[in-house]
Homo-oligomer: A and B are copies of this chain.
Amino acid sequence: MTTLSEENYLKAIYHLEKQGNDAVSTNAIAEQIETKASSVTDMVKKLAEKELANYIKYQGVSLTERGRLTAMSVIRKHRLWETFLVNKLNFSWDEVHEIAEQLEHIKSEKLIDKLDDFLDNPTHDPHGDPIPDKHGNYTKIKSKSILDISIGSQGVLISVKDSSKAFLKYLNKNELALGDTVKIVDFEPFDESLTIETKSKTMTISKNVAENLYLSV
């Protein structure tokens, strides 16, 4: 049985492994989890002890198959609970992450299976992130950052890379939501900003915003 803290480390390592290619560094984990490197070293030893991670001193960490599956299970719970909060309890998509951080640690297979059914087996959470099935499998909708899409073309807003409250609130304010069709109208080389067009309006977005918006391709 994994503890709440172990689960948070596994999740962090999983997310870091998915970005960078090689073994995950102690400092990277520390930053992600907002803890100190020395605490990470301790925990990583414990995860290796439990065969949830591979760890060689000074050489970083990677998840074992068991570790990866455990991480996926926590991520599955997180995303199902977020979906519940938005779809059933009418939370806004910028309010659910913190609550899901708590709910993801509730231990009951049956609960999460029933929740999954209750939500009609959703494949993606409110931020467009894929929800793994109970075996840890998922399919991410093919998408590209707006930055990498050529001027004149268009697509449907599939997911956001940054799901921070600040970014989501920005999107709310500017009436951008998942499912919207977005057309890239213009690119300004000076500040790398983009002009985009939706059903309701035309607007300019910064590079910073653009790289966090993913369109179907």
The one of B90, B103, B110 that contacts A114, using a Cβ cutoff of 8 Å: B90
Contact B106 A99 (CB under 8 A): yes
Q: Kindly report how many copies of this chain are found in the complex they form together.
A: 2
Closest B residue to A85 by CB, please name it.
B111
Q: Cα distance A106–B107 when bound, in Å?
A: 13
- A118 is an interface residue with CB less than 8 A from chain B: yes
Number of interface residues of A (CB under 8 A): 18
Chain A 52-68, CB-CB to B under 8 Å as 1, else 0, gives: 00000000000000000
What would 20 A/B residue contacts be, using CB atoms closer than 8 Å? A85-B111, A88-B118, A89-B111, A89-B114, A89-B115, A89-B118, A90-B114, A91-B110, A91-B114, A95-B110, A98-B108, A99-B106, A99-B108, A99-B111, A102-B106, A102-B107, A102-B108, A103-B103, A103-B106, A106-B106
